[in-house]
A and B are shown apart, each in its own frame.
Chain A
């Protein structure tokens, strides 16, 4: 049993200069065999392991990660959480996640710094206005909080936005989800890792999967840089590298991996206390607790695993930011980076069994996976443990690309992909 984090443990450890904190997770040598192995130690993978152990009592499991946990897209995203998706299936999925977020710090005994500061989506033309109003109605029918704001309300909610009618793409209105917000991305990975480790899950870092061994029945195990691990259930949560793992099992996925960039500014005093996203001009911005502006850019249109995107994408985003927020014109950008996102043709994820018995995939989250982390882990754990999807992820099966029953969230999802 791990010692509980609290104000008292903080004071107690201060006396020993914070040098004697208990390790949050072990660094185990892989066992020869596990009941299930999760490939990928990002937020989604660690959450999957956590819920497999907690809800499905599968404690003899491992998470293998080729780098360090939370070192991929978990540590590279812009930490935005919302559930205002258009279609019923998506609304169910993302709001399931949002409901878990609301109690996650307490559940994990780990401060994930979840802040429901609201997410506002802007409309810049008449079609945007119609789409956003439609989405607001759809959200409310699905029990998701959403309001439509006119230009005046937008200005009132976030006074630094330039709502002048003579800018290139004037602000005609927007939507607001007040329950939405941000969380500390690293803490999510670390909190889940600590919780899973406590229940006996082996978290094995610096362990890259090199092959998947199969027989006529299904999967037999994985070859890794730390040797062969026997298991008959493999859950792959490898984000941008999902296709690389799928190719090892001769499986083709409907994915393309592309660079997505983000950047942060120098830290400044509090200036924007919410998250503002704009689909039409592709600019979104929030402010971290350190005071940096966190800005998300778009994806490049070519396949790449290089973790760096094109300069013109960043330039386009910053042009839009400056037109909407002239107050930022003198700010300096501090850091810029890229991650590799796996995008499905319908911009919805896959949480599914595959044609190979014992091989499960959780992928295709594209540009917006962070917000779903707890829900994705919970539903993927259910799918792996029962060999059947939960009703909330049934629509997100791989077979939808054959049946044509797509969950088309391109554009409908309030942000371009």
Chain B
């Protein structure tokens, strides 16, 4: 259990949010030209990092907006929050 600082609403309990998994997985530009391997990579394969992970969250029980979070998955400590479309912080 931890607190997430929604970039639109401020600090709220994690239970107000829904996790959207790994961030910055780019949707294929030409889906019809993808091989099975590339589809598998896009749809299923995940880094599943123990440590600093870039991920998406949505404030389901609040503003219902999506945004990005940098979180240490071994301690659940949040390092940074940034809006969709913004450049991820380098470290």
- Interface contact A303-B36, CB-CB below 8 Å: no
Chain B residue with Cβ nearest A252:
B45
In the complex, chain B residues 31-86 whose Cβ is within 8 Å of any chain A Cβ? 36-37, 39-41, 43-50, 53, 55, 73-76
- Interface contact A252-B74, CB-CB below 8 Å: no
- Interface contact A303-B74, CB-CB below 8 Å: no
In the complex, chain B residues 12-43 whose Cβ is within 8 Å of any chain A Cβ? 14-15, 18-19, 21-22, 36-37, 39-41, 43
- Interface contact B1-A310, CB-CB below 8 Å: yes
Chain A residue with Cβ nearest B57:
A302
How far is the CB of B12 from the nearest CB of chain A, in Å? Answer: 13
Q: Per a CB cutoff under 8 Å, which of A255, A304, A403 touches B36?
A: A403
- Interface contact A256-B48, CB-CB below 8 Å: yes
**What sequence of 0s and 1s flags, for each residue 91-117 of chain A, a beta carbon within 8 Å of any chain B beta carbon?**
000000000000000000000000000
In the complex, chain A residues 295-315 whose Cβ is within 8 Å of any chain B Cβ? 300-306, 308-312
Chain B residue with Cβ nearest A254:
B44
How far is the CB of A403 from the nearest CB of chain B, in Å? Answer: 7
B22 cross-chain contacts in A, Cβ below 8 A: 303
- Interface contact A253-B73, CB-CB below 8 Å: no
In the complex, chain A residues 341-361 whose Cβ is within 8 Å of any chain B Cβ? 342, 345
Chain B residue with Cβ nearest A309:
B1
* CA A261 to CA B48, docked complex, whole Å: 19
A306 cross-chain contacts in B, Cβ below 8 A: 73-76
Chain B residue with Cβ nearest A301:
B19
A345 cross-chain contacts in B, Cβ below 8 A: 43-44
* CA A257 to CA B49, docked complex, whole Å: 9
How far is the CB of B66 from the nearest CB of chain A, in Å? Answer: 14
Question: If A256-B21, A312-B15, A403-B36 touch, does A304 touch B76 (CB 8 Å cutoff)?
Answer: yes
Between A and B, how many residue pairs show CB distances below 8 Å? 72
- Interface contact B73-A256, CB-CB below 8 Å: no
A241 cross-chain contacts in B, Cβ below 8 A: 50
How far is the CB of A76 from the nearest CB of chain B, in Å? Answer: 17
Interface check A401, CB cutoff 8 A: yes
Interface centre among A401, A403, A404, by most chain B C-beta atoms within 10 angstroms, is A401
- Interface contact A304-B14, CB-CB below 8 Å: no
Interface size on B, residues (CB 8 A): 26
Interface check A206, CB cutoff 8 A: no
Chain B residue with Cβ nearest A257:
B48
Interface check A272, CB cutoff 8 A: no
B75 cross-chain contacts in A, Cβ below 8 A: 306
Chain A residue with Cβ nearest B13:
A312
A300 cross-chain contacts in B, Cβ below 8 A: 19
Question: If A244-B50, A402-B37 touch, does A303 touch B44 (CB 8 Å cutoff)?
Answer: no
B74 cross-chain contacts in A, Cβ below 8 A: 305-306
Interface check A243, CB cutoff 8 A: yes
B14 cross-chain contacts in A, Cβ below 8 A: 302, 310
Chain B residue with Cβ nearest A345:
B44
How far is the CB of B53 from the nearest CB of chain A, in Å? Answer: 6
A244 cross-chain contacts in B, Cβ below 8 A: 50
How far is the CB of B61 from the nearest CB of chain A, in Å? Answer: 11
Q: Per a CB cutoff under 8 Å, which of A254, A257, A404 touches B45?
A: A254
Question: If A241-B50, A310-B15, A401-B40 touch, does A303 touch B45 (CB 8 Å cutoff)?
Answer: no
Q: 3 closest A-B pairs (Cβ-Cβ)?
A: A302-B19, A243-B48, A254-B44
B residues engaging A (CB < 8 A)? 1, 14-15, 18-19, 21-22, 36-37, 39-41, 43-50, 53, 55, 73-76
A residues engaging B (CB < 8 A)? 241, 243-244, 247, 252-257, 300-306, 308-312, 342, 345, 401-404
Give 16 A-B contacts (CB < 8 Å), ordered by A residue. A241-B50, A243-B47, A244-B50, A247-B49, A256-B46, A256-B48, A303-B19, A303-B21, A304-B73, A306-B75, A310-B14, A312-B15, A342-B48, A401-B43, A401-B44, A402-B39
**Known A254-B44, A306-B73, A402-B39; 8 more pairs at CB < 8 Å:** A243-B50, A252-B41, A252-B45, A303-B19, A305-B50, A305-B73, A312-B15, A342-B48
